[in-house]
Amino acid sequence: GGRDAFYKGPLAKAMDGYFKRIGAAHRYEDFAAHKSEWVEPVSTNYRGYDVWEIPPNGQGIAALQILNILEGYDLKAMGRGSADFWHVFIEAKKRAFADRAKYYADPAFAKIPLKELLSKERAEKQRASIDLGKATLADAPLPVDGGADTIYMTVADKDGMMVSLIQSNYRGMGSGLVADDGKGKTLGFMFQDRGAQFSLDAKHANAYAPGKRPFHTIIPAFMTKDGKPLLSFGVMGGAMQPQGHAQIVVNMVDFGMGVQAAGDAARFHHDGSTDPEGGAGMTDGGVVEIETGVPAALADDLRKRGHSVKYSVGPYGGYQAIWRDPETGVYWGASEFRKDGQAAGY
């Protein structure tokens, strides 16, 4: 029955009854008033490749901001095994996430300076604030003018159509609430709890308001070159996602890795940046989590620059991708070894 079967049909009425029984505020009228919309993806050009993301209220543009900052460095000359490479990547993430905390919100409620956030000029200013020998400890966002609860799936067909899709009920596999029809029969799905990602600061761009979408983390991605599709990909895992997207792109574009190797390479996850939900800002530089594939000497070098570094088994996300060979049109699938997933073709 399409979307109306969920938002206006018997399912909506059953959910309304369930919420009344448990004392929750959601009503049939809230479901019926819901509107979905098509949005235009946004992109940045990274060394000749166009990387595409969904605009806010999601966090996809953080990946694009990271790439804009990194474009000013010769990463290939630095080498993926150098502390310089890891240092500038971590510092680029910090600056993109400072903007993420301040500006990313529902564009229907907040004026988001999207053009400036994605500008190469802004990236140049952010890059100028990076000290190659010293970690940044506190957020310093520039002013502007004017885990296991997510799935990612990508699929491609014989005609060249590629789909990049991600879905998540959010923390704890969602709210833990499963509606029933009042007669003992469950509806078979759990409600999400992404409202937790609102800020309760009324002055914040991401402040809670009726009918408003919260900031959210789920971001499917594409990469194209000269207007032709190359890569449909995603990296599950909360705040890891834009960090992971940028790492995948750099692995492929700067270091020439294939679609599977780009996901297999050791990653970092920086934690501790200021969140869009509000709260205390970063004051100690956060923590850089690294995988065992990163040499101890490199970790020690990062520590000397002021980074707090620890080896950890996660969270480094869950990567899945399809690469389309630009010459032959043949598809190459890749699947993450860090969590459940598979690549399949027929």
Q: Verify that 108 and 218 share a domain, yes or no.
A: yes
269 and 296 together in one domain: yes
Same-domain pairing of 124 and 209: yes
Report if residue 140 sits inside a domain.
Answer: yes
Same domain, 104 and 246: yes
How many distinct structural domains can be found in the chain?
Answer: 2
Residue 182 lies in a domain: yes
My answer on whether 20 and 159 are in the same domain is: no
| Shared-domain flag, residues 1 and 131 | no
2 and 96, same domain (yes or no): no
**Is residue 300 domain-resident?**
yes
Asked whether residue 23 falls in the same domain as residue 48, the answer is no
Place of tokens 């020439």: 256
Q: Please give the residue range of the domain that contains residue 24.
A: 1-36
- Residue 265 maps to a domain: yes
Q: Is pTM beyond 0.75 here?
A: yes
> Does 341 map to a domain?
no
Same domain, 163 and 178: yes
pLDDT tens for the 346 residues of the chain, in order = 889 999 999 999 999 999 999 999 999 999 999 988 899 999 999 999 999 999 999 999 999 999 999 999 999 999 999 999 999 999 999 999 999 999 999 999 999 999 999 999 999 999 999 999 999 998 866 776 544 678 999 999 998 899 999 998 888 778 889 999 888 899 999 999 988 899 999 999 999 999 999 998 999 999 999 999 999 999 999 899 999 999 999 999 999 999 999 999 999 999 999 888 876 788 889 999 999 999 999 999 999 999 999 999 878 999 999 999 999 999 999 998 998 899 999 7
Enumerate the active-site residues: 150
* Co-location of 85 and 24 in the same domain: no
At 174 the pLDDT is 87
Instruction: Let me know if residue 189 belongs to a domain.
Output: yes
- Does residue 89 belong to any structural domain of this protein? yes
Residues 68 and 195 in one domain: yes
67 and 9 co-located in one domain: no
Residue 294 lies in a domain: yes
Check residue 262 and give its pLDDT. Answer: 98
Q: What separation in angstroms does the CA of 43 have from each of 46, 52, 54, 251, 325?
A: 9, 4, 9, 18, 21
β-bridge mates for residue 88, sequence order: none
Q: State how far the Cα of 142 lies from the Cα of 32, in Å rounded to an integer.
A: 41
